[in-house]
Structures are given as structure tokens and as C-alpha cells.
Amino acid sequence: MASIRFLGAAGTVTGSRFLVESGSARVLVDAGLFQGQKELRLRNRAPWPVPPGSIDAVVLTHAHLDHTGALPQLVRDGFRGLAHCTPATRDLAGLLLPDSGRLQEEEARYANRKGYSKHAPNAAPLYSEADALAALPVLSPLRYGELREIVPGVRLRFRRAGHILGSALAELVLDGPRPVRLLFSGDLGRYGAPILPDPEPGAAADALVLESTYGGKRHPEVPAAAALAEEIRRSVHAGGAIVIPAFAIGRTQEVLFTLRALEKRGEIPALPVFVDSPMALDATPFFLAHRDEHDDEMTRLMAAGEEPLRPAKLTFCRSPDQSKALNDVRGPCIILSASGMATGGRVLHHLAHRLPDPRTTVLLVGFQAAGTRGATLQSGAQTVRIHGEDVPVRARVATISGFSAHADEAELSRWLATFPSKPRRTFLVHGEAAALAASKARMDKLGWPAHVPRHLEEVAL
């Protein structure tokens, strides 16, 4: 008997964790952190529903922390198998996970020193940088298209998902009298996005686990590049800085690619661009090195000897002193800094410093989960709480959703049309309530049997 248990990303976007059981084998697809509202974040500290030592293998669809960020906990608490991922995911997770542990340690020390957390006077990190480093050896790379038996009776194949570097559709084949094919979309990317190729077509599957982040929503018809150019020209006229909260992996590189292209076409002036993220500094070379992940345009530029991720006046900031020095930068400039939902990282310091200035523009270039500071800013709040203080929001806050790395409603439908046949059932995950309802309505219209699972629900396959 085979089953799937939804340990995360059920009824919410983050915390991707799906436990597949087949006979005596247990495989965890993704080991992500919950993000956003406090009630969700508290799940990160709850005991695992099954002992980590009883899990035989982990499959990671891509490197973002809401898909990989709990792996150090899992290993620390007893997991002894391998975590299978693409080569690029292995490289990026090698940056993201230790950085996550380090940031958690820093934030816990800061909270304890400042004493601003009444509910957690002795704040502790979920895991340490050392825990994360100890987890890295379990990462086992598997190239796209190759088939591997990851535990007896369970085989895995990755296909390109087009979401971020290394992102994959994960196909599991559960052997038995009647083999069961499971396909996990992970986070599905967009068609025609820069740097990466389009998502690969769907494969024959008995069950599909499908993301619904943008269910019922469409990205603007105005291209992201044109919207970015307009915002930059507007900010130049105002004479202020543009602060872009952006994930260090994926979004930052796409924005850099677009800025360079706009400069080359003469659509924007060459402004000072500061990437204040040590992780982005370390990750960007991977986007250049993994040439097998490039789309045709990126391939052409690299072959011509161009630097497609380098605007004319680009500066990377690694040290804290370099980051602090940006407070003294006057006039139009662009500051790209993580995290993308303003839940942590250096961008918080830039927001605290520049939000009170009406000349500042804050550009939100990706999905903002409910309960995050990014969502608070997007809602038009007059203040936002940062490091225990209420910071007035006098800056202009704008959203360019065209930079999202998630497929929208039309693109999800386009991908579903590539399947050779309808799966017997589809599970809708990675979405908030309205998006899941819209996704369910779409599947009903298409005649695809679909179900929206509850948190911790188990379904027989």
C-alpha cells in the first residue's frame, strides 16, 4: 500500500514537505521551512510527525528555504539517508543552508540582547550554522533525465521546472504489482523568463502534486522589463534610492540581467547598483557556470563573451561595513538586498533607514506571503515593525509581479495542456485559500479530479 501525507504546503504556500510511503519505504519530498504568519512559523519548532531516522531518503525540488530549509534539523535529529537533488540545487543549498543557520543565530542573539521579544525572552535558532554544514554531505546530485533507484522499490527522475537554477519536476515511480507514478511540480517556472529554459512538458502520472501559488491570478501583460524601466525613470526624477527586496538566488540574478539589458538599449541611465548580499555574490557565479541550465538568449550572450548579469555600475557588498556604508549613498541608486519578502536579512536595515524618506521607492518584485513584512508594505501600511520598532512608511511602495518566478493561472493551464493524459488525481498545494479555490475551480472545469489536502492529511495512493 502506498500513501502520501501532507506535512506542509497544505493550505499555505510555504513549508513544502510531502511524505511518500510505499511498502516499508519512506521518502520525504522537500524539507522546507514554514514562513509568514507566526502560527505557521511555530510549526518549524514542532516535532516531526514521523521520526527523522525512519525516513529513508529525501528529494529536493529546488534550493529555496521553503523547500530545503528544514534539512539541517532533519539530519541533526536522526535522518541518515541521502537528499537527492540536481547539481545546481546542491551548489545553491550549500550556500543557503549555512547562511540560514548563521542568520538564525544572529537574530536570536539580537533578540536576546535587545530584549524586544516578550514571548521569547531566550530566543534560540531552529538550527545553527554548524548544523547546516553537517547536513551538506547528504546532498546527492542527480542530473535531469537520469533515473535512479533512491531506495529499494522507489525510482526518481528530475525534469526542468524553470523556476530557479536547478529547479526540478520530481517524478517518483513506486514499484509494486501495479507501479504508481507520482509527479511533483515543485515550484513551476514561467514561460519566456530570462536565463532559464521553459518548464518541461508534464509526464504521464497517476497522481500530480501541483503548486497553486498564483492560482486564479495573472501576471501583468506589461513586460517586467518595461515596468522596471518606468519605475527607475520615475525614481531618478524623484532623486531617491530604489530598494528592491529580492531573494539572493534567482530573483537577484533576473533583475541584474534585466537592468543590464535596459542599459544596453538606452531605456534607463546606468545608475549605481548595489547588491548587498554575500549569498548573491557567491551564488551569481553558479548562474554563469551551469551552462546546461541556460536558455537560448543567455547561451548566445555567454558565447559572445558578454557579461549578462553585470550592469555597468555594479557593486557587490560582502562585509557589514560595506552594507552600512550604503546609508551614506545619496541620489538615485538601486539597492538589491535579501530577503525577498523582507522577513530577515540586510534589506531590513535598508528599509528601516530609507522607508521614512518620501523620495525612496520600494519595489516588490515577487510573491509576498501573508504575514510577511513585504505583504504589510504591499497592503499600504503606514508603519512596519522592524527590529522591534515601528518604522513610518513615507516611501513609495510599488509591485512588479512580472518578475515572479512562479507560473500564473494561464501558464499553469498551459503546462497542464502538455500532459499526455490526465492523472487519476491531482493534489493542489503551495497556495493560500483563494488561490487554492481558484485552482480547484480550474481543475473542475478541465475535468481533472483534484483535491485540496489539509495539513497532515494522509491519502492512500
> What's the average model confidence in pLDDT over 266-295?
94
Residues 65, 77: Cα–Cα separation, whole Å:
18
Q: Is 388 exposed, middle or buried (0-12, 13-18, 19+ CB in 10 A)?
A: exposed
- Number of alpha carbons in the 13 Å side-chain half-sphere of residue 411: 29
**How confident is the model over 99-146, as pLDDT tens digits?**
899 988 988 887 787 665 554 457 889 999 999 999 999 999 999 999
pLDDT for the residue numbered 118: 52
Helix (H) or strand (E) holding 311: none
pLDDT for the residue numbered 317: 96
432 plus 451 within the same structural domain: yes
314 plus 355 within the same structural domain: yes
User: Domain of 247: which CATH number?
Assistant: 3.40.50.10890
Of 250-254, 369-373, 452-456, the one with minimum mean pLDDT is: 369-373
* Per-residue cell: 460: 492512500
451 plus 341 within the same structural domain: no
The candidate with the shortest Cα–Cα distance to 249, out of 350, 163, 349, is 163
Measured between alpha carbons, how far apart are the two ends of the chain, in Å? 7
334 plus 383 within the same structural domain: yes
212 plus 71 within the same structural domain: yes
204 plus 266 within the same structural domain: no
**How confident is the model over 22-63, as pLDDT tens digits?**
999 999 999 999 987 889 999 999 999 999 999 999 999 999
| Domain span at 161 | 2-217+405-460
**How confident is the model over 171-222, as pLDDT tens digits?**
999 998 889 999 999 999 999 999 999 999 999 999 999 999 999 999 888 8
Q: What is the Cα 8 distance to its own chain's centre?
A: 15
185 plus 63 within the same structural domain: yes
Helix (H) or strand (E) holding 175: none
* Per-residue cell: 44: 518549524
User: Domain of 32: which CATH number?
Assistant: 3.60.15.10
> What's the average model confidence in pLDDT over 328-344?
92
pLDDT for the residue numbered 401: 79
313 plus 260 within the same structural domain: yes
Q: How does 118-154 read in b/e, with b if 16+ C-beta sit within 10 Å?
A: eeeeebebbbbbebbebbbebbbebebeeeeebbebb
Residue 2 CB coordination number (10 Å): 23
103 plus 200 within the same structural domain: yes
CB of 8 within 8 A of CB of 15?
A: yes
Residues 46, 293: Cα–Cα separation, whole Å:
37
> What's the average model confidence in pLDDT over 342-359?
94
Torsion of Cα atoms, 383 then 64 then 212 then 189, to 10°: 110
Number of structural domains (the chain) is: 2
415 plus 454 within the same structural domain: yes
Select from 361, 381, 403 the last residue of a domain: 403
pLDDT for the residue numbered 366: 82
Residues 414, 439: Cα–Cα separation, whole Å:
13
pLDDT for the residue numbered 109: 86
445 plus 312 within the same structural domain: no
pLDDT for the residue numbered 123: 81
142 plus 10 within the same structural domain: yes
Residue with cell 513585504: 374
Strand order in the sheet with 2-6: 139-141, 82-85, 57-59, 25-29, 18-22, 2-6, 458-460
